[in-house]
Each structure stands twice: as structure tokens, then as C-alpha cells.
Amino acid sequence: MPEGDTIFRAARTLHTALAGQVVTRFETQYAQIARVHHDAPITGRTVERVTARGKHLLMAFSGVGGRQSAADDQSRRLRVDGPMVLRTHMLMSGSWHIYRTGEPWQRSPVSARIVVGTAGFVAVAFAVPVAEFVEAAAMEDAPALARLGPDVLAADFDVDRAVARLAVSTRPTVAEALLDQTAVAGIGNVYKSELLFLATLWPFTPPADVPVASWLRLLRNARTLLQANVVDPRETGVVTYRGMRRTTGRSNPAERLYVYGRQGEPCRTCGTPIQFRHHGEHNRSTYWCPTCQPAPSAAP
């Protein structure tokens, strides 16, 4: 499952390859995107920038410029002639890859949903389930983006605003609140368990019972860990969502996480077997150490 650091890294890699380049090839299997391309071709436009916002990847294209519009369709055509942003969200399965022109793809073309080519590179969105074109001028009003909480990886990340939104989350547990992208954007399921371990918080604590100091600790660690994984030196340039995510700072692949995926294995701090539970709206997995992250003792 891609997390904020992965999307951030993907955006940076795509930006390096594509920004400032003219689009020479554009293909898609999505009707809404194909319609925009049909009305006001994406080929011939310039890729202006590729950025990440939470788990959304945003690819901005220049306007077409100088095109005459058909009188009977003028308003719609004028809009899509302007600068457009391609918004994609990977959910569980999607990934963007970047290849040099002519280089073989690592996944089957059958699962390619969007292809953006320039003279030197081809960017391919494989199995990306959520994609739409948004007018650049209206992007901040796009419902999916307007709802997002502060982005953990943003340069101007506002930790106090994120704490305020998390503290009033309607999700029943702190574990679920951390995944609520309208409270804070960028934290995914792996980091969730790791951050709760580092903050020694029982994952099923109601958000209202989490002290402010613990929220601050969770978020500062989130930013530190996600940033550390963004600058992972093993980055290959091929965008993949199966990269090695690390929270322990240890280089041994078997020791890279504290609790995630370690059900029944000894806690790295105290030796207690790590516990595991599926819970919540999407039945997500949560891992924790019952000794380091104790449940509040029952009332006498």
C-alpha cells in the first residue's frame, strides 16, 4: 500500500524526468481523461510540474493556447484548453513507472491506464484506480484535495493544525485516526503501527483520550520517518510501491520495522510477542506490543 513518502518520491522522480518537456504521446483507458485529450490534446502541451499532495499525485500540463474553439461548445472547450492537472491516486494497487524511451516495461501493457511520453521518457500509470483531469485554476476546489488534512511531507507542514484535526477525529481509535487523510495526509498502514509503537500508545485508544504530547510525538516521528524514506539512497529511479520502508534505522532487511508484519515475533525492546488484529471500517491490520503499548487497565 503506497504511503506518503512513496508518492512524494514518485512525484520527484517523474518531475525530474518530465518537467519542462513537451508531451509527444498520450494514451489512456479512462473515458473522462480521453475526452479532455480529444477536445484539447495533451500532446503538444508542456509538463509543468509533478507534485504530491498526501497520497495524490498531481501532474500539471500547460494550456493548449491559440486554439480556435467551436462556437457550439465554446465554454467547455475553452476550459479544457487551459492548464490542466492530472490527479491520480494509487489506492492499494496502482503505481507510476518512468522509463527511457524504448526501454522495456516491467509490467504488462494490459494494466497500463495512462501513458505520458516525451522525447526522452515514457511515464506509465499501471493499475491506477483513481484518475481525473482537473482545471489547474480550480484544483484547490477539487473535492478530493479540498478535504485533505495537512500533508506530513509538505515544506509548510502545520503540526498544530494536524493535531487539532486528529484530536476531533470521529474515527473510533487512534490507529484509524492516523489513516484519516482528512485529518493528516500521507500516513499509511505500515507507518501507523510503527508510529504507535514509537509513541508507546495502545492502538485502540479513542482519539479524544490521546494527550497532545503524544499527538505531537506521533506527527514529528511521522515527518522524520517519511522524510528519511524519501531520501532512501537505494532509490533506483524506477517508481515502485514495493520499496523497502524502514523505521528502525537498521540496514538488515529483517530488522527494518519494529512491529508491522511481525505477529508473534519478539518485541525489539522487551521481547514480548507482537500482537496483531484486523479492525475498523476497512478491516486494516494493526500490530503492537502489549507490554510497550499497554491497554489502559480496566476500572476496579
Nearer to Zn ion by Cβ, of 26 and 288: the residue is 288
Per DSSP, the residues of 5-30 read: HHHHHHHHHHHHHHTTPBP-EEEES-
Distances (CA, A) of 188 to 7, 49, 226, 232: 11, 25, 10, 18
- 146 within 8 A of 140, measured Cβ to Cβ: yes
Minimum gap (Å) between residue 287 Cβ and Zn ion: 11
Minimum gap (Å) between residue 269 Cβ and Zn ion: 4
Minimum gap (Å) between residue 258 Cβ and Zn ion: 9
Q: List the one residue out of 58, 1, 3, 15 whose CA is nearest residue 185.
A: 3
Question: What grid cell was written down for 129?
Answer: 484506480
Whether 2 is a known active-site residue: answer: yes
Catalytic residue (choose from 3, 48, 176, 194) = 3
Nearer to Zn ion by Cβ, of 151 and 194: the residue is 194
- 256 within 8 A of 244, measured Cβ to Cβ: yes
- 131 within 8 A of 113, measured Cβ to Cβ: yes
User: Which residues within the stretch 182-211 sit at the binding site for Zn ion (CB under 5 A)?
Assistant: none
Would strands 84-89 and 130-135 be described as parallel, antiparallel, or unpaired? antiparallel
Residues in the interface with Zn ion (CB under 5 A) total: 7
Determine, following the binding rule CB under 5 A, whether residue 10 of this chain makes contact with Zn ion: no
Catalytic residue (choose from 27, 48, 55, 140) = 55
- Alpha-carbon distance of 114 to 96, in angstroms, equals 9
Minimum gap (Å) between residue 188 Cβ and Zn ion: 23
- 148 within 8 A of 165, measured Cβ to Cβ: no
Nearer to Zn ion by Cβ, of 251 and 272: the residue is 272
User: Which residues within the stretch 114-173 sit at the binding site for Zn ion (CB under 5 A)?
Assistant: none
Whether 192 is a known active-site residue: answer: no
Whether 55 is a known active-site residue: answer: yes
Nearer to Zn ion by Cβ, of 102 and 249: the residue is 249
User: Which residues within the stretch 238-297 sit at the binding site for Zn ion (CB under 5 A)?
Assistant: 267, 269-270, 272, 289, 291-292
Which residues bind to Zn ion, rule: CB under 5 A? 267, 269-270, 272, 289, 291-292
| Catalytic sites, residue numbers | 2-3, 55
